[in-house]
């Protein structure tokens, strides 16, 4: 009896809180979401699931719809990942709205330093907040399956652990500001060619261990507010319509509790997407509203399914600055953030080659600076990943600012060449989506180079590549050098070396290029990738030794493109044949290489590479000592001591690889399971790094049993300066363990 009356009281309270309340006065709060859902008409609910137009922040990519009667505000979504992408100028005001162009994701990953990434994105997230945006559409985190993917610069690595840890740090930093992120593009969006329709046909093992693994880490450790489903299909179904992916794996297995939004566009079968757990359609179109509503009315979408997605949306909305009524300033501290951007590039740039201590330079040399890219520096890339910065420093100005004397005639020659090229460049800039980024190089005669070599102390050649959304790169004249570049390198090498002078190459590239055929021609190679608006200054910091480089490669540089396993199933510039819908590598892509991506393939099969995964030089050397591993109930803890043996201060990245015992599933010879980076060690100074690996992280995926399995036996734990340079080993015994998961990802067609 007592119970019954308590129930009645509770019901009455519930009624007064929600159902019976005057609908007009009901306003969304964090604690009345159920009441709001109860008060919403189905028409209103559906509008919340479809993005709409807006003009709150010019240049933002999309909006969610407001329902003023219930106090539900519009929220604003804008691109990343190298910084916030909004329009820098607005009608009717002289005020500008520039954002900071931070280093691109590939460079951030080269730092192997999650703390650094978090610092960068804490600053980035502040711009999101202060410009009135609720969600940054980043991090981009598809794996580098193939170096020609046009958006690799927006992504981190060929390895899922490195990629996942970087993304988690990125998310934490941005979200510290009380704004959201969107981990994208979920999943297997590894090529731009026919990106809206391509069917990625991937085994469950490769999905679980590689293409989903990085998202799993990012979701569990970063807790993004949102995830963006990709355009492509996965094993025959659009990812945005794949219930197994968006609900079973993402939510039920990994515990994701935010919203899933589509990538930008309208696909058929909005109803299937809604049922699959894709909460929000972006950019959003009336036809999607009509479809969802019709399906709700016919019962094809149940009230529970509709309410589930609406609940997710409301839980998202109550976290946003627009809901909180945050008074944004439109005045983030761009100066301070430029410093952050420069420091991040400093800490991430990779030194690939340094014969006879060519670098660092003394700082007072007369420098002949070559290459169109010395003027037209590639700070970021093109497409939605571009940031509208006020300025992107180029190498000419950065070298001059650092006190170098440049060969003035040569500097002007490239300035003129760039001016001539500008029409082409402008065309590209206005049509960022889907355009190949052609970069011509200026020709220089051998005679001119001969004379320049007499007059200058050293040659620095800035070799550039741009890339971006909507198009993949190609093999000829892009992955490989074009004829002008090759001739230039050869002539520079002969002329400068004949006089005992050095030739340094700066690789200002968005993705991997071929290096094996020409690296012997040059004395030093510095790899800043696309390092953001301040990146040119950071390159100069490394050239002068103001900064001792400490970045390492987040992917492998193969000897030849055709050595890369996915090259057999990637559109590298060959023309597609066949009927629409059936074209190999265009309409569908077979991930035939399975789990043998990057170093997993090269290392296991002893295939020679140009630069191995995890490789990078320093101006000092490090000794590794006391490798130790201690098993605990959840896995093991590894420690290693690193000592700076050289004459200058520096930081070292230690990579922890594991070689599993035989007997279980067939596995790569070595797999990255953890990594650490020392602080700046003074000459002679040591630091002991501690790295933890759980039994679950050691597991591989059995398709037969749909389970993660850690094989029993002795694991070799390898402490590497790169995957090819193991400096310490230890062993650890583990017992067998397994974790069953759902078999819901479909199978690649034969
Ligand atoms: C891209 C996304 C981006 C969105 C909004 C799409 O074309 O694939 O990465 O976030 O546009 O600009």
For 42-93, write each residue's pLDDT tens digit. 999 999 999 999 999 999 999 999 999 999 999 999 999 999 999 999 999 9
In a domain, 497, yes or no: yes
The atom of ligand 1 lying closest to the CA of 182 is 10
Ligand 1 binding pocket mutation candidate from 57, 58, 61, 64 (most atoms within 8 A of CB)? 61
Answer for the pair 640, 729: CB distance below 8 angstroms, yes or no: no
Q: From the CA of 78, how far away is ligand 1's center (Å)?
A: 9
Assigned domain for 591 exists: no
Say if residue 357 is in the same domain as residue 260: no
Q: Is residue 263 annotated as part of the catalytic site, yes or no?
A: yes
Question: How deeply is 108 buried, as exposed, middle or buried, from its count of CB atoms within 10 A (0-12, 13-18, 19+)?
Answer: buried
Q: Give the CA distances from residue 509 to residues 21, 240, 427, in Å, rounded to whole numbers and listed in that order.
A: 60, 32, 20
What's the average model confidence in pLDDT over 394-399? 98
Question: Which pLDDT score is estimated for 750?
Answer: 53
Q: Does a structural domain hold residue 631?
A: yes
pLDDT tier for residue 573 given thresholds of 50, 70 and 90: confident
pLDDT digits (tens, 9 = 90+) for 86-133: 999 999 999 999 999 999 999 999 999 999 999 999 999 999 999 999
Do residue 264 and residue 401 come from a single domain?
no
Q: Which 3-state string (H, E, C) describes 347-415? A: CCCEEEEEHHHCCCCCCCCEEEEECHHHCCCCCCCEHHHCCCCCCCCCHHHHHHHCCCEECHHHHHHHH
Residue nearest atom 7 in ligand 1 by C-alpha distance: 264
Contact yes or no for 420/426 (Cβ under 8 A): no
* pLDDT above 90 for 653: yes
Structure tokens at 118: 């978090």
* 492 touches 459 (CB < 8 A): yes
From the list 391, 353, 715, the residue with the least C-alpha distance to 542 is 353
Look up the CATH number of the domain holding residue 360. Answer: 3.40.50.1700
- C-alpha of residue 73 to centroid of ligand 1, in Å: 23
Query: For ligand 1, atom 11, which residue shows the shortest CA distance?
Result: 264
- Burial of 269 by CB count in 10 Å (0-12 exposed, 13-18 middle, 19+ buried)? middle
Reported as a pLDDT band with limits 50, 70 and 90, residue 2 is very low
pLDDT computed for residue 663 by the predictor: 82
User: Is 91 within a domain?
Assistant: yes
Q: How far is the CA of 470 from the centre of ligand 1 (A)?
A: 10
Closest residue (by CA) to atom 9 of ligand 1? 384
Please give the full DSSP string across 512-581, using - where no structure is assigned.
----TTTGGG-SEEEE--S--TTHHHHHHHHHHTSS------SS-EESSGGGSGGGGGS-SSPPP-S-TT
Q: Which residues pair with 233 in a beta bridge?
A: 199, 238
Taking the centre of ligand 1 as the mean of its atom positions, its distance from the CA of residue 357, in whole angstroms, is 43
Mean pLDDT of 650-664: 95
Cα-to-centroid distance, 378 and ligand 1 (Å): 20
Q: What is the CA radius of gyration of the chain?
A: 27
Q: Which atom of ligand 1 is nearest to the CA of 385?
A: 9
Quick one: how far is CA 360 from the chain centroid?
30
If you take atom 2 of ligand 1, which residue's CA is the nearest one? Answer: 263
Q: How many domains does the chain have?
A: 3
* Beta carbons within 8 Å of 506's beta carbon, 6+ residues apart: 395, 460, 461, 462, 463, 525, 526, 527, 528, 539
Q: Of 547, 562, 592, which residue sits at a domain end?
A: 547
Quick one: pLDDT at residue 423? 64
Cα–Cα dist 321/292, whole Å: 28
DSSP state of 736: -
Shared-domain flag, residues 312 and 359: no
- pTM for the model stands at 0.96
- Type and span of the H or E element at 728: strand 725-734
Q: Which residue has the CA at smallest separation from atom 6 of ligand 1?
A: 264
Give the pocket of ligand 1 (CB within 6 Å).
Answer: 61, 79, 137, 184, 263-264, 384, 469
Asked whether residue 429 is domain-assigned, the answer is yes
Beta strands in 570-652 (DSSP E): 588-590, 609-611, 622-632, 635-644
pLDDT of 440: 83
Cα angle: 720, vertex 145, 531; to 5 degrees: 70
Taken in order 207, 208, 214, 220, is the CA torsion positive or negative?
Answer: positive
Q: What is the CATH number of the domain that holds 246?
A: 3.20.20.300
SS3 assignment, position 664: coil
Distance 263 CA to ligand 1 centre (A): 6
Helices (H) and strands (E) in the chain, counts: 21, 28
Atom of ligand 1 nearest to the CA of 230: 8
Query: Considering 113, 134, 199, 263, which one is annotated as catalytic?
Result: 263
Cis peptide before 81 (omega within 30 of 0): yes
- Per-residue pLDDT band for 9 (boundaries 50, 70, 90) equals very low
Residue 470: HSE in the Cβ half-sphere, 13 Å Cα cutoff: 16
pLDDT of residue 577: 81
Residue 551's nearest CA partner among 561, 563, 538, 560 is: 538
Each residue's pLDDT tens digit, 411-456: 999 999 998 877 666 555 544 454 556 678 999 999 999 999 999 9
The CA distance from 498 to 511, in Å, is: 32
Residue 391: alpha-carbon gap to chain centroid: 23
Calculate the CA 610 to chain-centre distance. 23
Residue 721, SS3 per DSSP:
strand
516 and 632 inside one domain: no
The residues that bridge with 119 in the sheet, in sequence order, are none
For ligand 1, mutation pick of 84, 153, 382, 384 (most atoms within 8 Å of CB)? 384
CA distance 171 to 157: 16
**Whose C-alpha lies nearest to ligand 1, atom 5?**
61
- CA atoms of 233 and 264, how far apart (whole Å): 15
**Mean pLDDT to the nearest integer, 384-410:** 97
Mean pLDDT, residues 403-411 taken together: 97
Q: Where are the alpha helices (DSSP H) in 244-358?
A: 270-276, 286-298, 303-317, 321-324, 334-346
CA of residue 541 to ligand 1 center, whole Å: 34
Residue with tokens 């934490």: 172
Q: Domain check: are 198 and 161 in the same one? A: yes
315 and 356 share one domain: no
Nearest to 738 by CA among 717, 710, 700: 710
Q: Assess whether 130 and 207 both reside in one domain.
A: yes
* CATH code, 724: 2.60.40.10
Residue 156 sits in the same domain as residue 72: yes
Structure-token pair, residue 316: 């998202």
> Which residues, 6+ apart, have CB-to-CB distance to 627 below 8 Å?
638, 639, 640, 717, 719, 728, 729, 730
476 and 511 assigned to the same domain:
yes
Per residue in 141-161, pLDDT (tens digit) is 999 999 999 999 999 999 999
Distance CA 335, CA 542 (A): 22
Which helix (H) or strand (E) segment is 259 a member of?
strand 259-262
- Whether residue 76 lies inside any domain: the answer is yes
Q: Say yes or no: 176 and 265 in one domain.
A: yes
> pLDDT tens digit string along 675-684?
999 999 999 9
- Distance (Å) from CA 238 to ligand 1 centroid: 16
Judge whether 247 lies within some domain. Answer: yes
- Residue 28 sits in the same domain as residue 77: yes
The residue nearest atom 12 of ligand 1, judged by CA position, is: 61
Q: Which of 228, 261, 263 has the most ligand 1 atoms within 8 A of CB, as the residue to mutate?
A: 263
**Of 514, 547, 580, which marks where a domain is finished?**
547
Q: What is the pLDDT of residue 438?
A: 66
For residue 740, what is the enclosing H or E element? strand 737-740
Mutate to test the pocket of ligand 1, among 240, 468, 469 (most ligand atoms within 8 A of CB): 469
In the numeric block, which tokens belong to residue 380?
A: 């970021």
Comparing CA positions, the residue from 359, 321, 739 lying closest to residue 545 is: 359
Atom of ligand 1 minimally distant from the CA of 433 = 7
Lowest model confidence (mean pLDDT) among 3-7, 339-343, 717-721:
3-7
367 CA → ligand 1 middle, Å:
41
**353-359 CB contacts, 8 Å cutoff, 24+ apart:** 353/519, 353/522, 353/523, 353/524, 353/525, 353/617, 354/523, 354/524, 354/617, 354/619, 355/523, 355/524, 356/523, 358/502, 358/504, 358/523, 358/524, 359/504, 359/524, 359/526, 359/542, 359/543, 359/545, 359/619
**Domain that includes residue 60, residue range:** 2-324
In this structure, the residue with its CA closest to atom 8 of ligand 1 is 263
> 367 and 313 in one domain?
no
| 135, 137, 181: residue to mutate for ligand 1 pocket, most atoms within 8 A of CB | 137
Say if CB 206 and CB 158 are below 8 A apart. no
* Residue 342 placed within a domain: no
Residue 501 predicted with pLDDT over 90: yes
- Answer yes or no: is pLDDT of 37 > 90: yes
Q: Residue of the nearest CA to atom 4 in ligand 1?
A: 264
If you write DSSP's letter for every residue of 179-215 in order, what string do you get? Answer: -EEEEEEETT----TTTTT-EEE--HHHIIIIITHHH
């Amino acid at each position: 009896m007592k119970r019954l009356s308590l129930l009645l009281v509770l019901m009455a309270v519930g009624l007064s809180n929600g159902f019976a309340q005057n609908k007009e006065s009901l306003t969304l709060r964090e604690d009345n979401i159920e009441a709001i859902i109860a008060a919403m008409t189905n028409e209103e609910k559906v509008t919340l699931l479809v993005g709409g137009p807006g003009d709150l922040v010019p240049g933002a990519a999309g909006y969610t719809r407001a329902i003023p009667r219930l106090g539900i505000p519009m929220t604003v979504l804008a691109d990343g990942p190298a910084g916030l992408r909004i329009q820098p100028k607005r009608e009717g005001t002289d005020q500008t709205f520039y954002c900071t162009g931070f280093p691109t994701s590939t460079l951030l990953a080269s730092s192997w330093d999650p703390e650094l990434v978090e610092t960068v994105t804490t600053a980035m997230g502040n711009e999101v907040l202060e410009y009135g945006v609720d969600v940054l559409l980043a991090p981009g985190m598809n794996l580098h399956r193939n170096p020609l993917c046009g958006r690799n610069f927006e992504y981190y690595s060929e390895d899922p652990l490195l990629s996942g840890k970087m993304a988690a740090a990125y998310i934490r930093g941005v979200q510290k500001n009380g704004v959201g992120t969107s981990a994208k593009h979920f999943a297997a969006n590894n090529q731009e060619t026919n990106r809206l329709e391509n069917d990625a046909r991937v085994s469950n093992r490769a999905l679980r261990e590689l293409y989903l693994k990085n998202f799993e880490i990012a979701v569990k450790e970063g807790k993004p507010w949102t995830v963006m489903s990709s355009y492509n299909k996965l094993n025959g179904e659009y990812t945005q319509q794949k219930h197994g992916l968006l609900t079973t794996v993402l939510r039920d297995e990994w515990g994701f509790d935010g919203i899933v939004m589509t990538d930008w566009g309208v696909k058929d079968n909005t109803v299937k997407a809604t049922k699959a757990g894709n909460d929000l359609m972006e950019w959003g179109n009336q036809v999607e509203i009509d479809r969802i509503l019709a399906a709700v009315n016919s019962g094809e979408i149940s009230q529970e399914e509709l309410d589930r997605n609406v609940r997710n949306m409301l839980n998202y909305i109550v976290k946003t600055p627009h809901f909180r009524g945050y008074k944004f300033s439109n005045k983030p501290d761009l100066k301070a953030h430029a410093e952050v951007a420069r420091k991040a590039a400093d800490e991430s740039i990779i030194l690939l080659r340094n014969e006879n201590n060519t670098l660092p330079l003394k700082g007072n040399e007369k420098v002949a600076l070559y290459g169109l890219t010395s003027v037209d520096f590639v700070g970021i890339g093109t497409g939605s990943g571009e940031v509208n910065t006020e300025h992107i420093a180029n190498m000419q100005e950065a070298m001059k600012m650092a006190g170098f004397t440049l060969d003035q005639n040569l500097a002007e020659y490239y300035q003129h060449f760039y001016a001539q090229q500008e029409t082409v460049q402008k065309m590209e800039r206005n049509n960022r989506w889907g355009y190949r980024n052609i970069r011509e190089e200026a020709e220089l005669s051998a005679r001119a180079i001969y004379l320049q070599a007499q007059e200058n102390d050293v040659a620095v050649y800035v070799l550039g590549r741009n890339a971006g959304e909507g198009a993949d790169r190609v093999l000829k004249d892009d992955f490989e050098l074009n004829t002008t570049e090759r001739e230039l390198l050869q002539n520079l090498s002969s002329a400068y070396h004949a006089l005992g002078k050095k030739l340094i190459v700066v690789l200002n590239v968005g993705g991997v290029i071929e290096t094996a055929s020409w690296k012997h021609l040059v004395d030093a190679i510095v790899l800043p990738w696309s390092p953001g608006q301040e990146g040119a200054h950071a390159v100069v910091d490394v050239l002068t030794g103001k900064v001792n480089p400490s970045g390492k490669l987040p992917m492998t540089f193969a000897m030849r493109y055709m050595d890369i396993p996915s090259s057999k199933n990637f559109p590298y510039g060959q023309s597609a044949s066949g009927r629409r819908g059936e074209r190999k590598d265009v309409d569908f892509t077979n991930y035939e290489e399975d789990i043998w991506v990057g170093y997993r393939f090269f290392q296991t099969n002893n295939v020679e590479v140009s630069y191995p995964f995890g490789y990078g030089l320093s101006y000092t050397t490090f000794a590794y000592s006391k490798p130790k591993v201690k098993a605990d109930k959840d896995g093991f803890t590894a420690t290693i001591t690193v000592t700076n043996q050289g004459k200058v201060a520096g930081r070292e990245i230690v990579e922890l690889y594991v070689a599993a015992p035989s007997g279980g599933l067939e596995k790569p010879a070595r797999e990255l399971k953890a990594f650490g980076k020392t602080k700046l060690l003074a000459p002679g100074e040591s630091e002991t790094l501690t790295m933890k690996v759980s039994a679950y992280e050691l597991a591989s995926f059995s398709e037969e049993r749909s389970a993660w399995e850690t094989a029993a036996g002795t694991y070799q734990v390898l402490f590497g300066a790169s995957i090819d340079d193991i400096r310490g080993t230890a062993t650890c015994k583990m017992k067998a363990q397994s974790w069953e998961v759902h078999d819901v990802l479909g199978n690649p067609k034969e």
